[in-house]
């Protein structure tokens, strides 16, 4: 297997990793990261948790020469593509950065894969490709229509389309790609050891790391927007724990051993929680008072 990140390699239960390795002909070999929103300390902790050496390569997926060299060096048979900028709000203010990094970077990666004859990939997509869906369509199914409401969602949609068209082109040449499109909802949580979790650089763009930073005193308050047509007027999201997310990737890799073509699977729990519901559940369990927040 090729490109992956700490969520997959360390949040996956050890027994499942061993079982998967027995089924695959090669083990995880290379981790590529430009460290734009990560640190090598997290990789050290991955090694500590898993007891395995992480072959880390600092670099960017937009670097064609780097990717060509990696595919020539390592016997990669499956790519797990997590690389990408992922903040909806930031994508609105910096759209060109998102198209350059996410779309251009993915295109460069896919070219390197095709040139190396590696045509199996698990892609970290997003439920944002569904755009705005009517309430009666919840929970969203993979057959729902796709659209986008922001540049981030549009980049994910474009990357999915690239993989669809690349597979179609391969079929016309008597070949095929094996593609898993994993459409995440909202990953949250941390490794049970507490050694690694979501600790972004700068101001968090997601609810959970913002809550934890306010609770830890790193930030003075949590800003809550109340403008939604919900019971408490705060946004409702479907949250999935990162351990379950990692298990979903294992299942996708196993499935790609059996099937060809492009397949989309949602990764969520099918039930939504509002911001206030999340605050109540988190701090009731911890027997603490919810953090200060502004409306």
Q: What is the pLDDT of residue 24?
A: 40
Measured between alpha carbons, how far is 202 from 56 in angstroms, rounded to an integer? 24
Q: Which residues of 49-82 are buried (b: 16+ CB within 10 A; e: fewer)?
A: bbeeebebeebbbbbeebbeebbeebebebbbbb
pLDDT digit string (tens) for 214-230?
877 888 888 888 888 88
pLDDT digit string (tens) for 78-102?
999 999 998 898 999 999 999 999 9
Q: Kindly indicate the confidence band of residue 288, based on its pLDDT and cuts at 50, 70 and 90.
A: low
Predicted model pTM: 0.84
- Asked if pLDDT for residue 69 goes beyond 90, the answer is yes
Domains of the chain: 6-192+240-269 (3.40.50.720)
Whether residue 193 contacts residue 45, with contact meaning beta carbons closer than 8 Å, is answered with no
More confident residue, 183 or 285: 183
Query: Is 210 a residue of the active site?
Result: no
Return the percentage of the chain with pLDDT > 90, whole number.
47
CA 74 to chain centre: 23
Q: Tokens in use for 27?
A: 């083990």
Q: What is the pLDDT of residue 278?
A: 86
Return the percentage of the chain with pLDDT > 70, whole number.
85
Average pLDDT over residues 145-167: 97
Q: What is the pLDDT of residue 29?
A: 63
Whether residue 127 contacts residue 266, with contact meaning beta carbons closer than 8 Å, is answered with yes
The single residue of 98, 99, 130, 152 carrying the catalytic annotation is: 152
């Amino acid at each position: 297997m090729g490109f992956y990140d700490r969520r997959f390699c360390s949040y996956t239960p050890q027994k499942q990793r061993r079982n998967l390795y027995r089924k695959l002909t090669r083990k995880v070999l290379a981790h590529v990261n430009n460290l734009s929103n990560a640190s090598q300390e997290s990789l050290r902790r991955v090694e500590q948790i898993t007891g395995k050496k992480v072959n880390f390569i600092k670099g960017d997926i937009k670097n064609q020469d780097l990717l060509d060299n990696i595919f020539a060096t390592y016997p990669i048979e499956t790519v797990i593509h997590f690389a990408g900028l992922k903040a909806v709000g930031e994508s609105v203010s910096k759209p060109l950065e998102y198209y350059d990094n996410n779309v251009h970077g993915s295109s460069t990666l896919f070219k390197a894969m095709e040139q190396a004859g590696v045509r199996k990939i698990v892609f970290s997509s997003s439920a944002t490709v569904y755009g705005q869906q009517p309430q009666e369509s919840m929970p969203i199914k993979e057959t729902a229509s796709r659209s986008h409401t922001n540049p981030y969602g549009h980049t994910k949609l474009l990357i999915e389309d690239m993989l669809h068209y690349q597979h179609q082109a391969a079929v016309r040449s008597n070949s095929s790609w094996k593609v898993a499109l994993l459409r995440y909802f909202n990953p949250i949580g941390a490794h049970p050891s507490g050694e690694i979790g979501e600790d972004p650089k700068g101001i968090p763009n997601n609810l959970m790391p913002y809550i934890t930073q306010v609770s830890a005193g790193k930030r003075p308050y949590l800003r809550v927007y109340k403008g939604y047509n919900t019971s408490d007027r705060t946004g409702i999201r479907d949250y999935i724990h990162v351990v379950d997310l990692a298990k979903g990737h294992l299942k996708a890799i196993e499935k790609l051993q059996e099937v060809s073509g492009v397949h989309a699977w949602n990764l969520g729990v099918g039930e939504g929680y509002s911001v206030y519901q999340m605050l109540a559940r988190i701090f009731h369990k911890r027997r603490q008072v919810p953090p200060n927040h502004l409306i």
